[in-house]
Structure 1
């Protein structure tokens, strides 16, 4: 679960130049979109996009030559010039300048009813926010843009916005949700992208390979990897595709715990990124550090982390950097016995985890389990320094008592916050349009037999079949008139999950809503509630409920009763 860095973002910011390029070449939109823009300005802009400048600064200089005379143009031309300037500012990493200009272009477009220019300004604003590590603002804008998917005027912008949403889901470890978006785009909008000869169409193959790798579904990992490998020469002639393929191979090796192989491939890719962008790929270096640490190479692990910390962009990046970054420092300093540094990074880890959870829960409707991580860290702390300090015994006892009082109050406050956030999540899910099960169908095996089986599974879900105690893989296969191996394969490869996880998710989602609306149900014992939705024991139910919500069933019910 790792947050992106600037070099990864640049791959997309360079690609979005095509959006405005197509606009000025009248490919993406009708002639009416170009009304009010002179042939002279169109020619100047087309020349800038077509010219092979040696550096991005030279390109920006050419744009600024037009921009400094902006008052000579009419209002629609002025908005267009702002958008071109913003486009290249984003590509060159000048995000704060781009954000400021996006606000100007958006307001101008709004005041003059230039609808497409207003939407395009929002798209660039979301992109600039993302590059500037303002992820909460970026996600909110991309989410609103993605809702324009069925409007042909904004179809391409909506598709790219959905792709960005999938990136956010992937970065916080919601691989199944990211995969659902990617597969749905491929299935419903693949022909649209392919006809445009759009490189993003092919990049989805590699992205899906990486997502399937994270989910541990090996066949699909290699299926989409091979699709990408087959087509890279068709859309990339600068060698970039082969380096991205190398990174994918390193990710697969890392997942398979082939740490030496993954380190070698990560090193080649990292050197290429640095030579191209003069910056390091932060998520890659975090994985590389983990691999070194797994091999006992503490100095190498520390060296890679320091490369991240010493980058100029780290001051911005650290706001949303993966908590794993600080956790690795804790493990390293614990191994080297540097207690002061370990404690320093332990506090930084907690702070990063709070920020990470705030973004993950409030923006993407999920919560990372802080308690579990805190306990794992604190349980490994070395407390032997206190054993021989008899003279401080009473002070220690007093401190412990105060700690437990503070912990109890903190836990109560945290559980209340979890409950309130969970209620927001339930409300958002009930008012949003959730994709049907069939949207996650894997293209690799998309035939009528699979589609029919998935529809039958959805029907069983609707009739409450999975809430029964005898809902086993065997009984479900028998009910669907198929065999267990085939059913398990379809669920794994098309829904991105296992049969047991699929059933548990259905049961927990059902009981959350039932407890929220059914007062009588809240009076049941935990065991009775568990049996109501098909669990044989209260322990199993409590375990899955806590994993899904961050709260125990009894705590959730207590908070519901307080609210009602």
Structure 2
């Protein structure tokens, strides 16, 4: 697409799609600034003369209110509505007003606005100066929206210079940014418009550098967006892109068909030289030189009127010179030679300035920024590595200290376990010790059931010992404790099916009574009681028979009456605060030391 008209249609799209209706019967005096701006937006394409009247009112209103911010916006509108060269005056006025606000965002936008207006009039040198200033401000603001807007217009300058590879990279970034933020709604930020124009320019750029395959999906994406977002006025531009794509794929008949269709569908006042140029080239490639020349002459007519021409269309003059030489028309041949020389002189002047400016103030600056980012990243990376190293050292010291503390603790626990009295030996109860101090040699026997004979307590001390649970007969308590003692001696706790219910049935009592007696006299609940017996049993086996030290944890668990190794290990560690595997290891080392 012709770059100049790309920018014109961009302006139109931004303004036209803000509001679509306008009523003549309006009272501007009663409207706030936002309402006035919406009215102005709606008039850009439908009624520009009326739009200028309202812009004048907005300028007057802003001055009266002494609002530099609204005055800047009003001047910016004037720069878009008024023709050349009046619009240049308003770009300067907008810039002055923005500086008075001391708002860097508005100042950045003012420079960008001026650059785009100048670029639209092919004043590329001054345009680039302002766009680069806007880009510099946007980087300072770290405003990604403005950064990508300025990048888009810098890419257009690179396209003008024929730097399609460089422009393509910039456009990919713009396209991706605006696409990601497509549904973002922020006042005065138009992501959709810049997305579709970045996409349009990216497709044209891909065509120039041979990325034809990528354009298939991008064109589908463009048409889908146009359909869903009411951007039908842009459809001819993408049909034009298809035509240019067909030309670069040497499908000249399809190129002519698509480009001609685009020309029929355009609904604006612009000449669309891009389509005319590539229709002419396609006919030339097909050998239809007489037809091709008619299209090239249309380009020359436009140049005669505007004295502006994109360097992309330079080959049209080369072919006009060649054609008129072949038919002997020296007058036209000389005319086109003079025009081409004038164009080349202008291109050379612009090229030298723009290329050096972009290279010096944008690309080099961009490289420096990238360099600084990399250096900063490396510095941060070194800081992170140093921090990680320090944390690792501190963590290592912590865990080493913790390991040593645990080793010391485990060793102490091991010594405690080793020094414990053999729990399998019968231990006299407190009641038995106290009973020896009495001389009562005639115990009294009571029959509670046919199965169990209960011996009554011998004296008051023994009675008091068995009377710790209110509501329970001390004789019953004594009997249960005696049965528990026998239960322990017979190692019946190693039965992995043993439960509180089964034991209460065997003792001919109920579950609550047995549970209370175990809690009070054993100092723990039934589960802890039976599991502790099992753990103590294994400890004695390991202490007294080295054979068991070679058993694995699973076998030891089964031997003790546990249903699995995990339950055994958990209970072992709960009771002794040491893992069974570590205890076994210490036992083996202890045997080696003393052997």
Class of the TM-score when normalised by the shorter of the 2 chains: 0.5 to 0.7
CA RMSD, Structure 1 to Structure 2 (Å) = 3.6
Q: Which aligned pairs between 1:99-248 and structure 2 lie closer than 5 A? A: 99-111=88-100, 113-150=102-139, 154-188=143-177, 190-196=179-185, 198-237=192-231, 239-248=232-241
Structure 2 residue matching 1:317: 3-state secondary structure: coil
1:255 aligns with 2:248: yes
Number of the residue aligned with 1:298 = 289
Contact 1:203–1:228 (CA under 8 A) maintained in structure 2: no
**Separation in structure 2 between the aligned mates of residue 127 and residue 105 of structure 1, nearest angstrom:** 13
1:9 aligns with 2:1: no
Number of the residue aligned with 2:262 = 269
Deviation at 1:163, TM superposition (A): 0.9
1:60 aligns with 2:59: no
Q: Which one of 59, 68, 76 corresponds to residue 83 of structure 1?
A: 76
Evaluate the alpha carbon distance shift between residue 308 and residue 55 of structure 1 in structure 2; reply closer, same or farther with a 3 A threshold: farther
Contact 2:10–2:197 (CA under 8 A) maintained in structure 1: no
Contact 1:53–1:59 (CA under 8 A) maintained in structure 2: no
**Separation in structure 2 between the aligned mates of residue 296 and residue 168 of structure 1, nearest angstrom:** 34
Evaluate the alpha carbon distance shift between residue 194 and residue 42 of structure 1 in structure 2; reply closer, same or farther with a 3 A threshold: closer
Contact 1:333–1:342 (CA under 8 A) maintained in structure 2: yes
Structure 1 residue matching 2:367: 3-state secondary structure: coil
Under a length normalisation based on structure 1, what TM-score does the superposition of the two structures give? 0.56
Contact 1:175–1:214 (CA under 8 A) maintained in structure 2: yes
Number of the residue aligned with 1:488 = none
Deviation at 1:193, TM superposition (A): 4.1
Evaluate the alpha carbon distance shift between residue 312 and residue 56 of structure 1 in structure 2; reply closer, same or farther with a 3 A threshold: farther
Structure 2 residue matching 1:296: 3-state secondary structure: coil
Evaluate the alpha carbon distance shift between residue 339 and residue 49 of structure 1 in structure 2; reply closer, same or farther with a 3 A threshold: closer
Partner deviation per Cα, 1:243-293 (whole Å, 9 max, x = no partner):
1221121011111222222112212212333xx222311222222221122
**Separation in structure 2 between the aligned mates of residue 308 and residue 44 of structure 1, nearest angstrom:** 40
Number of the residue aligned with 1:310 = 301
State the number of aligned residues: 357
Contact 1:266–1:284 (CA under 8 A) maintained in structure 2: yes
Contact 2:324–2:332 (CA under 8 A) maintained in structure 1: yes
**Separation in structure 2 between the aligned mates of residue 433 and residue 126 of structure 1, nearest angstrom:** 23
Under a length normalisation based on structure 2, what TM-score does the superposition of the two structures give? 0.53
Q: Which aligned pairs between 1:34-73 and structure 2 lie closer than 5 A? A: 40-49=32-41, 54-67=46-59, 71-73=63-65
Structure 1 residue matching 2:162: 3-state secondary structure: coil
Contact 1:302–1:329 (CA under 8 A) maintained in structure 2: yes
Deviation at 1:159, TM superposition (A): 1.8
Structure 1 residue matching 2:3: 3-state secondary structure: coil
Deviation at 1:67, TM superposition (A): 3.5
Partner deviation per Cα, 1:8-58 (whole Å, 9 max, x = no partner):
33211223438999xxxxxxxxxxxxxxxx973333333433579842222
Q: Which one of 351, 355, 360 corresponds to residue 360 of structure 1?
A: 351
Deviation at 1:119, TM superposition (A): 2.4
**Separation in structure 2 between the aligned mates of residue 138 and residue 269 of structure 1, nearest angstrom:** 29
Number of the residue aligned with 1:444 = none
Contact 2:104–2:137 (CA under 8 A) maintained in structure 1: no
Deviation at 1:129, TM superposition (A): 0.3
Unaligned stretches of 5+ residues in structure 1: 22-37, 367-423, 440-564
Contact 2:108–2:133 (CA under 8 A) maintained in structure 1: no
**Separation in structure 2 between the aligned mates of residue 286 and residue 307 of structure 1, nearest angstrom:** 9
Contact 1:143–1:162 (CA under 8 A) maintained in structure 2: no
Structure 2 residue matching 1:147: 3-state secondary structure: helix
Evaluate the alpha carbon distance shift between residue 156 and residue 277 of structure 1 in structure 2; reply closer, same or farther with a 3 A threshold: same
Which structure's CA Rg is the greater one? 2
**Separation in structure 2 between the aligned mates of residue 234 and residue 339 of structure 1, nearest angstrom:** 54
If asked which structure has higher relative contact order (CA below 8 Å, sep 6+), I would say 1
Deviation at 1:320, TM superposition (A): 6.1
**Separation in structure 1 between the aligned mates of residue 370 and residue 222 of structure 2, nearest angstrom:** 27
Contact 1:322–1:352 (CA under 8 A) maintained in structure 2: no
